[in-house]
Amino acid sequence: MVLANGSVVAVDGWQDRVGALVEGWLGGQAGGSAVADVLLGAVNPSGRLAETMPVRLQDTASYRNFPGDDRHVRYGEGLFIGYRHHDAIDGPVSHPFGHGLSYTTFAYDDLVVDARDEPVVDGLDAAGGVGWRGAPRVAVTLRVTNTGLVAGKEVVQLYVGAPDASVTRPVRELKDFAKVALGPGESVGVSFTLDERDLSYWSTRTDGWVLEPGTFEIAVGASSRDLRLTASIDIAGPPIAYPLDRSSTLAEWLEHPVGHEILLDVLRHSPAGDLSAMTEDPERVRMLGSFPMTRLATLLAPAVDGGIVDQLLARLDP
């Protein structure tokens, strides 16, 4: 079956009754001869899907939001568009993002993920790029082998996930890819370099990219669902220090490198007595950690309005 389409079409329900699918998209005036070359084997196809082919329209992230009502469209899917949505819900798809077949097969092995120290001078690294703020670059290497009988090209895809992130992040994100041409039985080394931006997320609170220390999962494969090799790496760095204001929570004050000690001192000498004991009880902190300090001050000491918070902020930024 040869498809000629401008966007994804539903193939579930009939694709198992054909030997193969050739996705031709909108090939233009040379599309016919290009498809003929693929069908006759004059060319070994090596294209990959740049979008997920869902089972149903209802499975897409924007189904309940698009086209909207009364000229208003709500982009409720946020970060979870395309494969990020399908992978997050672990739902079935007809064909995943990055998928593609050819007349040969490829094997992946020898994955190595390593943090690499590079000196930073005046904010720039040895390659002239913006330097890291507290973590090294990450080098990813592997070997790909053509295990078939004909020459072909493989698109090696590199995905990164942050399973322990404190904010909502996709299960995995495509960060790089490389296309390699190999003859039958031939192998080649493939390498990638991840920088700080590749591991960071955009924070509206800091109005910038934030690298959160922790464990990152590195995966390489032939699509977002065909991950051949995986590894984990721990990235160290200073804790994230969000700007503190009157809406900041107890947990945010306790996690702040400067605000933590200021908070404890103010609580010890509050007009209502020593309130610092609550920060020593993990269960109590877990329960009250999401409370804004203005609200918490009122709950703990009704006679004290916003005075404690004003005192905290004054000492934080004298």
Domain range for 225 is: 106-235
Per-residue pLDDT at 133 exceeds 80 = no
What is the chain's alpha carbon radius of gyration, rounded to the nearest angstrom? 26
Q: Which of 179, 206, 235 is a domain's end point?
A: 235
Query: Is residue 178 domain-shared with residue 254, that is, in the same domain?
Result: no
Percent of the chain with pLDDT over 70: 89
35 confidence band (pLDDT: 50, 70, 90) = very high
Task: Identify whether residues 110 and 91 lie together within a single domain.
Answer: no
Chain segment 238-283, per-residue pLDDT in tens: 677 778 888 888 888 888 878 888 888 877 877 667 777 778 888 8
Of 196, 211, 235, the residue at which a domain comes to its end is: 235
Domain assignment present for 43: yes
Per-residue pLDDT at 118 exceeds 70: no
Q: Could you give the number of structural domains in the chain?
A: 3
Is 240 inside a domain boundary?
no
Answer yes or no: do 190 and 160 share one domain: yes
**73 and 114 fall within a common domain:** no
Q: Is 13 left (phi over 0), alpha (psi -120 to 50) or beta?
A: left
Contact 86, 93 (CB under 8 A): yes
In a domain, 281, yes or no: yes
CATH of the domain at 223: 2.60.40.10
Q: End of a domain among 212, 235, 258?
A: 235
Contact 96, 223 (CB under 8 A): yes
Q: Is residue 100 part of a domain?
A: no
- Residues 263, 308, single domain; the answer is yes
Q: Is the pLDDT of residue 214 over 70?
A: yes
Q: Are 198 and 128 found together in one domain?
A: yes
- Of 166, 157, 159, nearest to 201 (Cα)? 166
Residues 231 and 123 in one domain: yes
SS3 of 96-133: the string is CCCCCCCCCCEEEEEEEEEEECCCEECCEECCCCECCC
- 179 inside domain: yes
Q: For residue 60, name the pLDDT band (cuts at 50, 70, 90).
A: very high
